[in-house]
Structure 1
């Protein structure tokens, strides 16, 4: 079974914000003539990288709840201009919405076992994905999602 990561999605108020940001960054790459790929840079390199790239995802915590995920396709350690070791998590740009799962704030990323990860929203729950983000958040805070 693939291992996942979980991380706070700082600066995004909704899954829609995240999707817009991804589209913007991919467009910037196209215009700059760079490889068109989405990645997230972190300070720490996962030691269990082989388990993660074998089908694992990065689950995003937005406004206190896990709301979506993206497949991790590659992990690229590198050293930045200041000599600090960092890591790029290369992500599939497609965002998969998940059932909401409340999470407290934390720093960095954490490993997330498959059995602890929220399920994807299936086609039968597509109406939930179409709800306004504020309504979904209010329902999740009430424990109804």
Structure 2
């Protein structure tokens, strides 16, 4: 399966199981297995390690302890359309993980913004001080 020009996934690492889905379809839904459970063996794939780590972080609870990514698709009545939807979700997830996060640059607040913040804090302090009971002499 081609993700980008550089990223390819071996089809043998993708397993699709067809299960019964709830939702629209009337009585027909009880007799057909139209939902798709796509399982991608991330641990066995030859994707770069950095990409795997980002993918694991993005996948969250959809990744098993064995390193298998599990995606469910059951929004369509057709098995073929659910299969395509699951594959598209996998592709989107891998594309998201392939983008390297921008490194954070440490910045300092400007002097003017610090002065504005201190002035606002002083104004709030005065407002709250006026809410108290008047001091008795």
What interval of TM-score do these two structures reach, taking the shorter chain for normalisation?
A: under 0.3
TM-score by length of 2: 0.26
| Higher percent of residues as helix | 2
Higher relative contact order, chain-length normalized (CA < 8 Å, sep 6+): 1
TM-score by length of 1: 0.25
| Higher percent of residues as strand | 1
